[in-house]
Amino acid sequence: MPKQSAAVSPNPNWTVYSTSINSVVQAAQALGAPVMKLLAQVGVNSALLTEAETRHPVSALYDFYQLAAACTSDDIGIFAGRIGYISRINLQLYTCGVCDTFRDYLNLMPSVLQFAGDIGEVLIRREGELIRLDWVPLSPPSARWRFQSDELLTTSAMIVDSLCVRPIPVLKAHFSYPQPADTRLLEQVFGDDLHFDQPVSCLYFDRNCLSYPLIQLDSDWSQAISRSIQHLFKGEADPVLRELRSSLIRLLPAGGVTIDKVAEVQNISRRSLQRRLAERGTQFGRVLQDLRHELALQYLSDERLSITDIAFLLGYADHGSFSKVFKAKSGVSPRDFRKR
């Protein structure tokens, strides 16, 4: 296999979060690779990997993958994908807390660019009676590179099959790379209907799963999510403001929340919503800003959520955008607020 950095040549400005490298590091360690030596070879300071929001060059991730696979297994992406699923499960659970069906979840599905970094996106498409989940790398030449396709598809398959009361198995899987000599682990994860040298790496699921109800959380999780929502309505007797806040909480993780989107969800015109808010001495932007800040305070109190997770749940484009707005409002960064 050719050296990855030469094969893909990622943009030198592209970066990934520590969590993206940590998944591969943990997989490599479990498979017996000399992790510290390999990190030094690719120029990654292992001490910085303890900070989830620290960013590293994408090339370092690619090179580490290449070196780790050379001394362990070409299946390393599958192992990293399983680790990625567990490491992001807190975010999945919070997202489920504001969804009812699998269709709702897909509309809020976290962006890979937001929680991983500049590597690509997972996109959902309909294809007849099936739905298709595509892995679309940011660097087109990396499409035929196995490790990242395996990682993202493994994480996606595990998330999809764990959210609903009914199981959602992979019906068939396409891979954009050539068929490897040993496909046993791929078959364990994705089933036996595997196709290689395809235009896109993707997974197929039964379209009926869109209406499947999500698993309802209980215990500490349901209480935490309930608190993060219900405390916002205490003393709020006005039905217009209560409904607006409820709509915003559901729409925020999808990003790009506008008054037009909210009005559409509430089945009223933009002008009607503006008029109702004006009658109450407020504006859409003010309600949105206040709600985001109140939710931010609640989410930051839950150590299970990273600051990147919180940025996603609040609908910000990235960790930096959230930090800038939060600091302007609170006078301290989200990280410093959490430490206090």
- In the chain, % of residues over pLDDT 70: 90
My answer on whether 65 and 131 are in the same domain is: no
User: What CATH number is given to the structural domain containing 334?
Assistant: 1.10.10.60
My answer on whether 9 and 110 are in the same domain is: no
Answer whether residue 81 is part of any domain: no
Contacting residues for 325 by C-beta, under 8 A, at least 6 apart: 292, 316
Answer whether residue 32 is part of any domain: yes
pLDDT per residue as tens digits for the range 116-133: 888 998 999 999 999 999
My answer on whether 26 and 94 are in the same domain is: no
Answer whether residue 271 is part of any domain: yes
- pLDDT at position 177 is 95
Answer whether residue 54 is part of any domain: yes
pTM: 0.76
User: How far is the C-alpha of 336 from the C-alpha of 192, rounded, in Å?
Assistant: 49
Tokens representing 177 are: 């790379």
Answer whether residue 26 is part of any domain: yes
| Residue 71: pLDDT over 90 | yes
My answer on whether 271 and 243 are in the same domain is: yes
Q: Which of 167, 182, 211 is the last residue of a domain?
A: 211
Q: Which residue has the tokens 């592209």?
A: 14
For the chain, the straight-line distance linking the first and the last C-alpha, in angstroms and rounded, comes to 49
My answer on whether 109 and 202 are in the same domain is: yes
Q: Which of 211, 234, 260 is the last residue of a domain?
A: 211
My answer on whether 206 and 229 are in the same domain is: no
- pLDDT at position 234 is 47
Q: What is the mean pLDDT of the chain?
A: 86
Beta strands in the chain (DSSP E): 15-17, 55-57, 120-127, 130-137, 172-174, 194-195, 201-206
**DSSP annotation string for 31-49:** TT--HHHHHHHTT--GGGG
Q: Given pLDDT bands bounded at 50, 70 and 90, which one contains residue 265?
A: confident
- Provide the number of structural domains found in the chain: 3
Q: Given pLDDT bands bounded at 50, 70 and 90, which one contains residue 15?
A: very high
- pLDDT at position 228 is 47
My answer on whether 196 and 227 are in the same domain is: no
Contacting residues for 13 by C-beta, under 8 A, at least 6 apart: none
Answer whether residue 132 is part of any domain: yes
Q: Given pLDDT bands bounded at 50, 70 and 90, which one contains residue 235?
A: very low
DSSP state of 67: H
My answer on whether 179 and 119 are in the same domain is: yes
In sequence order, what are the beta bridge partners of 117?
16
Q: What is the mean pLDDT of residues 143-165?
A: 92
My answer on whether 196 and 103 are in the same domain is: yes
Burial class (CB in 10 A: 0-12, 13-18, 19+), 304: middle
Q: Which of 153, 187, 211 is the last residue of a domain?
A: 211
Q: What is the mean pLDDT of residues 49-63?
A: 89
By residue range, what is the domain housing residue 151?
Answer: 86-211
Q: Given pLDDT bands bounded at 50, 70 and 90, which one contains residue 218?
A: low
My answer on whether 20 and 115 are in the same domain is: no
Contacting residues for 216 by C-beta, under 8 A, at least 6 apart: 222
pLDDT per residue as tens digits for the range 76-118: 999 999 999 988 887 777 777 778 899 988 877 767 667 788 8
Tokens representing 97 are: 């807390």
My answer on whether 95 and 122 are in the same domain is: yes
Answer whether residue 80 is part of any domain: no
My answer on whether 59 and 25 are in the same domain is: yes
Answer whether residue 200 is part of any domain: yes
Higher-confidence residue of 235 and 162: namely: 162
